[in-house]
A and B are shown apart, each in its own frame.
Chain A
Amino acid sequence: MHELAITEGVVQAVTERLPGTAIACVHLEIGAMSGVVADSVRFCFEMVAEGTTLEGARLDISQPRARCRCRDCGAEFEPEGALPLCDCGSADVAVLAGQELRITSVEVV
């Protein structure tokens, strides 16, 4: 349900950065380990954008894959599923990528 607040954050950030500018497309990065469901953001976007300069804008979401480094053996790997477990058996990992939650750019009309 937090995707609604996330989507409101997107619309608010864009309208603050580019006041009064009609937006044709918004490019987002939502990482696989960000805790945000891209489809839910898509679902909320049309409603949240209504009546703003983002109304009718296209939403383009890229979803960077997760990448981790094991703190025990140093190996880098792409975790499968929600549990980032290294092949060495360690769960003590640093997340290098996949937690992105970012507005990369917008296309203006």
Chain B
Amino acid sequence: MCATCGCGDEAGVRVFGPGHLGHDDEPARQHERHEHEHPHERHDGHAEGHVHDHGSRPAGRTVELQQKILAKNDRLAEENRAWLAAHGILAVNLMSSPGSGKTTLLERTARDAGARLGLAVIEGDQETTLDASRIEAAGCAVAQINTGAGCHLDAIMIASALRALDPRPGSVLVIENVGNLVCPALFDLGEAARVVLSSVTEGADKPIKYPQMFRGADLVLLTKVDLLPYVDFDTERHARDLKLISPHAQLLPVSATAGEGLPAWYDWLAGRAG
């Protein structure tokens, strides 16, 4: 059980490949957190740390480790990154709070520019293959990760999903993270760029309330801008606050339903893909 929120983790992590959506009992690839068979994983053993004896009592022996806590995730993320680069695939980590319009944006992107970009998608949710089914219906190759209790995707899950999805060389791969403005910021997946969505139906103060997330963004998409006449959203304040948190992040206003700003988003993806 998760100590923070009390949710159960009995279900564990599941990965569904193309053609296996909607069959929750038969995941295409079962994610094995502890017996991970990454195709490009190194198996360099860890040497024991340097031992210092403090005085004559063995009880207080200190072993220096000096190891990053996220070292394992970071190493696997680098392996994902190297594999993606070797196959000419641009991977984008798409993050936002739940309900900001990530999936709707990807559906529209798949319909408008899926062929041009060679778009493939990895969906991340705690449960269900609903999002993957929406993306598949839009004509796009997709794999779904269910994290169970997990509040974020990690590099091990992406390695499993890459095996299930097997994206075509030269494609643009968008990884839709679990809807959450906190936890996903910390976990490198091996992506080449981070895109964060901020919707006009949320507060304009999201960038300063969740600085860790917005600080890492290469691009911020302000979504649902067709609703601006109906909501109390201060676009100037949002842009100003974003500039304070992340001076170099690009900001693009878009509407996935009305189409506003979408060509610039497609061009941004195509430009990053090279």
Contact = CB atoms under 8 A, between A and B. Distances in A.
Interface of A: 1-6, 9-10, 12-14, 16-18, 24, 28, 35-36, 40, 43-44, 47-48, 82-83, 85, 90-92, 101-109
16 contacts: A2-B152, A2-B182, A2-B187, A4-B2, A5-B154, A5-B183, A5-B187, A6-B70, A17-B67, A18-B49, A90-B247, A101-B68, A102-B66, A105-B65, A108-B62, A108-B63
Contacts of B208: 82-83
Interface of B: 2-5, 46, 48-49, 59-73, 150-152, 154, 182-183, 185-187, 208, 211-212, 243-245, 247-248
A48 B61 CA distance: 23
Given A13-B69, A13-B72, A82-B208, A2 B151 contact: yes
A105 B64 contact: yes
A12 B154 CA distance: 15
A36 B63 contact: no
A14 to B, nearest CB: 7
A28 B60 CA distance: 17
A14 B71 CA distance: 12
Contact of A83 (B68, B73, B182, B244): B244
A91 B241 CA distance: 10
A64 to B, nearest CB: 14
Contact of B63 (A13, A91, A106): A106
A9 B73 contact: yes
B45 to A, nearest CB: 9
Contacts of B187: 2, 5
B245 A91 contact: yes
Contacts of B67: 13, 17, 102-103
Contacts of B70: 6, 9, 101
Contacts of B2: 1, 4
Contacts of B212: 35
Q: List the 3 closest pairs (A to B, CB-CB), nearest first.
A: A2-B183, A35-B212, A1-B151
Contacts of B68: 101-103
Contacts of B66: 102-105
B72 A17 contact: no
B216 to A, nearest CB: 10
A40 B4 contact: yes
| Max chain B Cβ within 10 angstroms of own Cβ: one of A4, A12, A107 | A4
Contacts of A44: 3-4
A106 B62 contact: yes
A5 B9 CA distance: 12
A82 B211 CA distance: 7
B105 to A, nearest CB: 24
A71 to B, nearest CB: 9
Contacts of A36: 186
A6 B152 contact: no
Nearest to B184: A2
A12 B150 CA distance: 17
